[in-house]
Amino acid sequence: MIDVLIVEDDFMVARIHRGFVNDVDGFRVIGTANCGEQAIAAVGELQPDLVLLDLYLPDMFGLEIIPRLRTAGHDCDVMVISAARESEAVRGAVRQGVVDYLLKPFDADDLRTRLEQYAARRSNLYAAVSGQSDVDRALARGAAPTTAPAALPKGMSVETAELIERELRAADGSLSAAECAARSGVSRVSARRYLEHFSVTGRAEVSLRYGQAGRPERRYSWLDV
């Protein structure tokens, strides 16, 4: 079981995120904090495995929390969940070693995909290392040509992964989740889960297409690595 601390200043948003996390097998929320100082104290008290960290907090910018946790000897992982789109924030998060960066607003499936992928990478880190391929797997790099069963998050199948991969490889350019679903015969939600998995593990590239209104469309193209 992966224990999660949610750091979010809006209590209603924190409640929603708690529900999202608790619905994912293998994860449970053990606490919440609504500001940076509370978050630091809660990590010391609860010892979470993963912190879901908002950046716009009332007492400090969220990234300021991470070096204070490391100085105190806490080695919990941090996943940023924020509306912060500034390149400086993203670069700072990468430098601080966050395991993922999810932009608000998002839905339950978005977070579920990221958590399942995190769980798979975490499992790889605890596996025995016998060679470079094991190191690459732990770093989510240099995967085999076809996604191996052990590398897939729970609830995802090798057959569907291969199907989505074939459609991406065959596409003339990029595909949206809806287009990939129509080509492969799976649901749009399922197609998006696999596409996001490929993106996070470095197998596919994501680009944004902006329309007249609403959120930009996420489009995916296969990367031959």
- pLDDT tens for the chain, 225 residues long, are 999 999 999 999 999 999 999 999 999 999 999 999 999 999 999 999 999 999 999 999 999 999 999 999 999 999 999 988 888 888 899 899 999 999 888 888 889 989 988 988 887 776 666 677 666 666 654 333 344 434 577 778 888 888 999 999 999 889 999 999 999 898 999 999 999 888 888 888 888 887 666 677 889 999 875
Residues 161 and 100 in one domain: no
**Is 169 inside any structural domain?**
yes
**Is 33 inside any structural domain?**
yes
**Is 50 inside any structural domain?**
yes
**Is 121 inside any structural domain?**
no
For residue 60, how many other CB atoms are within 10 A of its CB?
15
| Residue span of the structural domain in which 139 resides | 131-222
Residues 16 and 82 in one domain: yes
Determine the residue type at 162: E
**Is 112 inside any structural domain?**
no
* pTM (2 d.p.): 0.62
Is the previous residue joined to 145 through a cis bond, with omega within 30 degrees of 0?
no
**Is 113 inside any structural domain?**
no
**Is 151 inside any structural domain?**
yes
Residues 89 and 135 in one domain: no
Residues 24 and 98 in one domain: yes
CATH number for the domain harbouring residue 146: 1.10.10.10
CA dist list (Å): 204 to 168, 198, 201: 9, 5, 8
CATH number for the domain harbouring residue 46: 3.40.50.2300
**Is 165 inside any structural domain?**
yes
